[in-house]
Amino acid sequence: MSSDAADNGKSSDNIGKSFAIAYLINSCGLSPQSAQSATKHVNFKSSRKPDSAIVSLQKNGFSKTQITTLIRKYPRVLMCKSDKTLLPKLEFLRSKGFTDDKLTKTVTGWPRIFRYSLEKQIIPTFEFFVEFLKSKEKACLVIQRYACVLSLDIEKKVLPKINTLRENGVPESNVAFLLGIQPRLFEIGLDRLEEAVQEVKKLGFNPLQLSFLSAVGAFIKMRKSTWERKFKVYESWGWSESQVLEAFRKNPRCLMASDDKIMSSMDIIVNKLRMGSGIAELPRIITYSLKNRVIPRVSVAQALVSKGFINDINLLTLVKITEKAFLERFVLCHKKEAPNLLKLYRKKLDQPQ
């Protein structure tokens, strides 16, 4: 190739890239930086294909903001053919029960769905979830929660992990429950899952109970150094190692809370409620929202104690009951003698923490 031909090729590429960048900014709403990055994956000299893709998305209910987000995440969608790639996958999800709102939200969250074959990947994977979860509705919920599961290799990624859990005594109904609420756990390596299962069994968890799988999930998500750091956070409040382990056995999520969340919760529990290390018996408290649940409800209960309406505070009962039950039991029934309780509660809910 002559130098002139090479220069002309580079010039043509630059012209195409410049056109694509301008299009991505002006027609798709991308920032200059995002547009520059997107041209590493797509480059076009005409608006025919991208215009067709955008019109197809618009006709299927995607908002301008969603389309911009979708293109930024997966620029190659602009090169997808509407009749062969976009519409068949959108129509498939819609046929399975996805409303327009759920459909656009799910696809915007994971636009790489357009990369995978409908017949070879998406349909068989969806059908596997329907069969295993025994419900089309549950399969749709899993996909709405974590649409990446549609890209999983069932034979290589999912079934070996299901079999490992079965072999260790976990009921299939519990495996289905885990697959339904934490499908991303099935993306990890099989060795990591097996290691977590054995660690959890050593701690005395019963494979027949759902807490076994919660503990497995905690072990998978936490490195050893993180596990050790969480112990130190609790120990700084006077807990013994055995108390931390006991709390973990009762509710594995208490070790998955952030360090700041644990510290803030313990400050309320120990310093305001004077419960000391006895909270190890009530590990669920740590997992509740301080801002939206614990602090507002504790404030109401403390006001009731100070006025003599109740004698003490059962913290676990206070925070675990439903919002309706809490209002009826602690607020509305004292409306006449303590009319400001509801105002106090709402103030604490709105107050930045």
pLDDT (tens digit per residue) in 287-343: 888 888 888 998 888 888 888 888 877 777 888 899 999 999 999 988 888 888 888
- What whole-number distance in Å separates Cα of residue 15 and Cα of residue 324? 63
pLDDT reported for residue 3: 47
- Collapsing DSSP to helix, strand or coil, 314 comes out as coil
Dihedral over Cα of 259, 264, 270, 275: its sign: negative
Q: Could you read off the pLDDT of 169-178 as tens digits, one per residue? A: 999 999 998 8
Residue with tokens 């190659």: 76
Question: For position 27, what pLDDT does the model report?
Answer: 94
Q: Which two tokens stand for residue 104?
A: 């656009």
- Neighbour tally for 89: CB within 10 Å: 19
Query: Cβ atoms within 10 A of the Cβ of 329, count?
Result: 14
Please name the residue that has the structure tokens 């419960």. Answer: 275
Give ∠ CA 248-254-284 in degrees, rounded to 5.
95
pLDDT < 50 regions, the chain:
2-12, 353
pTM above 0.85, yes or no: no
Helix (H, G, I), strand (E, B) or coil at 266: helix
Query: Residue 114, exposed/middle/buried by CB under 10 A (0-12, 13-18, 19+)?
Result: buried
Note whether 159 and 129 are within 8 A (CB): no
Task: Classify the phi-psi angles of 206: left when phi > 0, otherwise alpha if psi is within -120 to 50, otherwise beta.
Answer: beta
- Give the integer Cα–Cα distance in Å for 53 and 42: 13
| Per-residue pLDDT, 275 | 64
Q: In degrees, to the nearest 5, what angle opens at C-alpha 227 toward C-alphas 218 and 203?
A: 65
CA 312 from chain center: how many Å?
37
**Greatest distance between any 2 Cα atoms in the chain:** 95
d(CA 62, CA 56): 9
Q: Which amino acid is at 154?
A: I
> Any idea where the domains of the chain sit in the sequence?
155-221, 223-283, 288-353
